[in-house]
Amino acid sequence: MGETLGKYDSLRDYLAGYGPGDEVRLTFAEVEEFAGRLPPGARRLRQWWAGDSTVQAQAWRAAGWRVLLVDTAAEQVLFVRSPSAAAPRSRSQGYLSQLHIPLVVVLLVLCVIIGAIGFSFRPGTDTPPAVSDQTLTLYVYQQNAATAAMTDPVRVSADEIMTWANSSTVMVQLDVFASFARAGQAQWYVDTGRSEFPPYSCPDPNNYIGTAFPNPVSTENGLLTIGSQTATPAVVAGFMGHRDTLTAPGILGLDGRSPGTVPAGVLAPIAEVDLCWARDPPMAADGEFTSAAIPPVDVVPESGPSFPVEVTRSLYFYDRVAGLQPTTAEYSLQATTTPASTDPYGWHWSGSQAPVLQVNAVNMAVSQHETFLGFVSAVLFGVVGGAVVLVLQEILEPIRSRRRTGRPA
């Protein structure tokens, strides 16, 4: 008949799942579910089911079965298993024999690999990161002696710049300029609001990033100067500030003095305060989003009525001095106050003292890239979902086959 023993392997494996002494009645159509289309003789001749030498008989004999009864009119066959059949297969063995284990393993491995790739490609957050609100309080005055009265300036101008000191540290530089009615050395004091993670002083006189006024630090005849004073260690320390150890916990206080005498009526450099946050910073980036909360500078009079105060605020996402790479065109910016001006490297606000300046920015190039990664991630997860469906189909197919043929689960 041209048939091979392998044609009846599924029927043999199905019967092998039963125990000794069991009987199984199958219709010819159910036999064909395991072995494929039967030859015409199987429906006409009972001899086709008899004997031990035919390929089909060898299949069920190998599993310890024989044909007890054939009803060609009803197209049914009754198999019986010998009570003495050796090494009967358990039902789990019969189930595993019908399971395409290599295919299931390959699909599961693909699910893990593709799922891991899809997870790595998933886009970041879809909301701007939260940042902490900080405050800066500034005092500027003249005092000729410890017991003398404090004299307020006639004008104060502060240039506040926020940027990244490095990939994990945010820096705020506060450049203070002031003029007084009388000549004399000025003193200053800055403190931060109470915070669980206050900033720390990170002075660097060679890293002036202000834009409102020319850099007061320069080199003349090979000597470093601040204003018109030679930058001795004492002058630099007074200009950058000393840590005040008497401040309350959670507050950073710095005090210092101007580099030399401030001429009367001249807006002169008073201080350069560098503050850094490594934890709970006022600026954070996450994927396409960058959030910043530029602290307000509250200039407090010491002895009299208020005086004119000008505060210029600048925001740079990269170090403008270290790398002159234009960045503003890459971002879409939202702020509580519209910037007064913009240059290729940052945004600038000007005016008097104001509350915290909240800024949210979206990097358009990163946003497009995140959208693409989201699409790729979704496709990969879709492939994983399809593979999982195939695995489930393979696992459930032997069970469905048993139910179709009336075998108990």
The pLDDT of residue 131: 92
72-105 burial code (b ≥16 CB/10 A, e <16) = eeebbbebbbeeebeebbeeeebbebbeeeeeee
The pLDDT of residue 182: 94
Q: What is the DSSP letter of 24?
A: E
Residue type, 340: A
C-alpha 261: how far from chain center: 52
Show me where the domains of the chain are located.
Answer: 5-98, 136-323
Please name which of 256, 254, 219 lies closest in space to residue 237, comparing C-alpha atoms: 256
Compute the distance between CA of residue 284 and CA of residue 277 in angstroms, rounded to an integer: 11
DSSP secondary structure, 226-281, as one string: ETTEE--HHHHHHHH-EE-TTSPTT--EEEEE-SSPBPBT--EEEEEEEEEESSS-
pLDDT along the chain (409 residues), means of 10: 67 82 89 89 87 82 87 90 59 64 84 87 78 92 82 94 87 95 95 90 86 84 84 92 88 94 94 93 89 93 87 82 68 89 89 84 79 84 88 78 54
The pLDDT of residue 177: 96
The pLDDT of residue 268: 94
Compute the distance between CA of residue 73 and CA of residue 70 in angstroms, rounded to an integer: 9
List residues bridging with 309 in a β-sheet. Answer: 156
Yes or no: say if 247 and 189 are a contact pair by the CB < 8 Å rule: no
The pLDDT of residue 88: 46
The pLDDT of residue 57: 86
List residues bridging with 343 in a β-sheet. Answer: 346
For residue range 378-409, list pLDDT tens digits in order.
888 898 898 888 888 887 877 776 665 554 44
For residue range 203-232, list pLDDT tens digits in order.
987 888 888 888 888 887 778 888 888 889
The 10 Å Cβ neighbour count of residue 44 is 10
pTM more than 0.85:
no
The pLDDT of residue 78: 92
CA distances in angstroms from 227 to 3, 141, 184, 362, listed in the order given: 104, 18, 14, 39
Q: Is 374 helix (H, G, I), strand (E, B) or coil?
A: helix
Q: Is 78 helix (H, G, I), strand (E, B) or coil?
A: strand
The pLDDT of residue 3: 57
